[in-house]
């Protein structure tokens, strides 16, 4: 007979919180487990594997939608690896775009910080750059 774990034990075993496990159930990533007569959820080893898979994918920054697609591919023995690679490459492109945006933000903020005299004067180049052209002072 397979061992079934309550949500607390499943959370401990997977490294997730019970709240996140419930969230993954509600979002459809994890099949709703059977419940005891008292209403406690019981998770089997397959669901624990799915939770580990989800956690690993989240660490890599995949969205819940992307994780849903990856889970379907993972569970499909007839899958084509090119579909998995395509998902990963799209995610890599998204990450590269975010990195470029962050680098641009960093550069602009550094320029603003460098233009600040950081003295006792009320004039502030940072606030001036953030304010609309005809904004309030």
- Please determine, for residue 134, whether its predicted confidence score (pLDDT) is greater than 60: yes
- Reported as a pLDDT band with limits 50, 70 and 90, residue 46 is very high
pLDDT at 137 over 60: no
Please say whether the structural domain 1-79 has been given the CATH code 1.10.1660.10: yes
Residue 135: pLDDT band by 50, 70, 90 thresholds?
low
What DSSP assignment string belongs to the chain? ----B-HHHHHHHHT--HHHHHHHHHTTSSPPPPB-TT--B-B-HHHHHHHHHHHHHHHTT--HHHHHHHHHHHH-TT--HHHHHHHHHHHHHHHHHHHHHHHHHHHHHHHHHHT---SS-S--HHHHHHS-TT---
Q: How confident is the model at residue 123 (pLDDT cuts 50, 70, 90)?
A: confident
Q: Tell me what the pLDDT averaged over the chain comes to.
A: 93
From the CB of residue 106, how many other CB atoms can be counted at a distance below 10 Å?
Answer: 10
Domain boundaries, the chain: 1-79, 82-137
- Give residue 118's pLDDT: 87
The pLDDT of residue 62 is above 50 = yes
Distance from the Cα of residue 92 to its chain's centroid: 14
pLDDT over 60 at 1, yes or no? no
């Amino acid at each position: 007979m397979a061992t079934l774990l309550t949500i607390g034990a499943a959370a401990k075993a997977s490294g997730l919180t019970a709240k996140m496990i419930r969230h993954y159930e509600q979002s459809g990533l994890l099949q709703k487990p059977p419940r005891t007569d008292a209403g406690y959820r019981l998770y089997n080893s397959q669901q624990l594997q799915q939770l580990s898979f989800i956690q690993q994918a989240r660490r890599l920054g995949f969205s819940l939608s992307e994780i849903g697609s990856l889970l379907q591919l993972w569970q499909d023995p007839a899958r084509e690896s090119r579909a998995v690679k395509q998902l990963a490459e799209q995610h890599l492109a998204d990450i590269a775009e975010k990195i470029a945006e962050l680098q641009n933000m960093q550069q602009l903020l550094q320029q603003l910080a460098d233009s600040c005299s950081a003295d006792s004067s009320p004039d502030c180049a940072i606030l001036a750059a953030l304010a609309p052209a005809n904004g309030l002072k």
